[in-house]
Amino acid sequence: MARARGMLVGLAAGFLAVPAIANAQSAIIYGSLGNFDISNDTGQVCHGFEVDIDGVTVGDVPYSFSAERYGAPQVLSTAAGVQVRWESPYDPTAQQFAERTLPHTVPWFPGQCYQWNPATYQNSGCEHFGTGATANPTHVSARWLCEDPSNPGTLVPNDPPTAVPMPTYYVQPPVQPNNPPLLVVEVQAPEPAESPDLYGDAQWMRVFKVELQRPIALNELLADNPAVVPMDPAQLESNWAIVQDEPAAGGNGNRRRKRNQGNIDPTTRAVVRRIEMYAFTGQYDPITHEALCADGLCNAPAADELGDLVSVQMTGVNVQPDALIVTKTGNGNVDSSDKLVSCGNKCAQPYDAGRVVSLTAKAGSGSTFVGWSGACAGIGNTCSVTVNGAVNVAAAFSAPSGGGGGGGGGGGGSTAQFTLQVGRSNTGTVTATPAGVDRALNCGGTCSAKFAAGTAVTLTATPPAGKSFVGWGGACAGTATACTLAMNANTSVQANFSK
């Protein structure tokens, strides 16, 4: 997807949306991503599912999730936008559908709705869906498709819509210059009221959150992937809240829409949330249908107010804040003239887009400055960079001279050597040029080697067929497949490949 700066309103049912152009932002959203698990709570055996995406065209919907019992969906044009429709084939001779989703009656567990759990999948009573759009929808709703009893072999949507939260995302610029921007996510009540004068059916919602220092891929957002999807109690972002459509007059908006937000740190590349929706089984006002909670405030469910888990939305955004990230090897520091970077200690700093930052490399005692790499180049000890997106700068210093020890004899000792260690997430290969003094580094197999002090080593990441390289960690940064660093200390690098 092409980079675009500004606010994004993307719906996370597998959506990748393009932000509108605006000024004075300090982060880019590359796309909102998501996949959701949804229980069949209709009380019927259903044979398909549909997502209505208003405000887009068929050409705006290039992706659909097909690793489920219904296979690839149809993408159909409607008066309001697009309908993505999964449905089972029908055998008119046998008068039955080939596939079905039973009503959900069994306890939830992570991965229950996925076909790679064959022992439980067929009778799980739930399914996993997703689709993607490159334009900003105006509204999204989702429904199970069940057989029309008066017209066998015909599927009709079941109302009300399913309780799947469809989050929207946007970036809010920082109030103070060179502070972190905010990433805002909003969730609208998924089930509309039966009339404008009433409240809709209520759900309990809670949200888990994690930030990652690499981009994510859509196929990673699965309920049985705790390495990416947050679900640990320590990752809870917001606890129980009632989500409920409100009447046009009489509501205050606090139930209709829930908002979470947080700073985008300079090294954050993805923010992932798991949004759980549970049935509300408490009392409703007999006139307005407003949920009436035992605690009077609906801050937490009483034992008889929390029903079954209805849906789980695994949603995330790939983000790129405007920031300067400095790494260094050897004995020295890098400072910015505005005092916001002092690396040493503070090596990553958010900046407003377009800010020019002056850096100075200062060698430590007994060391010398070797040179810059990344957004800076050369051996002069000062460098200026313009921040636009993530700007990575590396500074290399020589190690302090070692005197006469170490077996060198004659006046200075042998040349110092440092170990380069490479780690990988998922499968892929990382090679190093030149070869190490003890072995060639080819990780796949050999993931560490020693190099003489000051050696400039270029690492090249190669993903396997059908996969992609998503970015570096450790002493390397960015998403380019090649990274060059100076070996002036023992160094670790992480190469991240798609799952």
Cis before 160 (ω within 30): yes
Contact assessment for residue 285 and residue 197, using Cβ atoms and an 8 Å cutoff: no
Task: Please report, rounded to a whole number, the percentage of residues in the chain having pLDDT higher than 70.
Answer: 89
Residue of 443, 395, 439 whose CA lies nearest to 417: 439
Q: Tell me the mean pLDDT in the region 362-389.
A: 90
Compare 359 and 425 and report the one with higher pLDDT: 359
Residue of 18, 145, 157, 128 whose CA lies nearest to 64: 128
Q: Which two tokens stand for residue 209?
A: 């959150």
- Look at residue 25 in the predicted model and tell me its pLDDT: 57
pLDDT at 426 over 50: yes
Residues, the chain, total?
Answer: 499
Residue of 231, 203, 196, 256 whose CA lies nearest to 41: 203
- Look at residue 136 in the predicted model and tell me its pLDDT: 66
Q: Where are the domains of the chain?
A: 27-320, 322-400, 416-499
- Look at residue 191 in the predicted model and tell me its pLDDT: 87
Number of Cβ atoms within 10 Å of the Cβ of 303 = 7
Contact assessment for residue 496 and residue 473, using Cβ atoms and an 8 Å cutoff: yes
Fold of 416-499: Immunoglobulin-like (2.60.40)
Tell me the pLDDT of the chain averaged across its residues: 85
Beta strands 491-497 and 417-425 are parallel
Residue of 406, 426, 425, 424 whose CA lies nearest to 416: 406
Distance CA 23, CA 173 (A): 10
The string of pLDDT tens digits covering residues 214-247 is 888 777 888 888 989 999 999 999 999 999 999 9
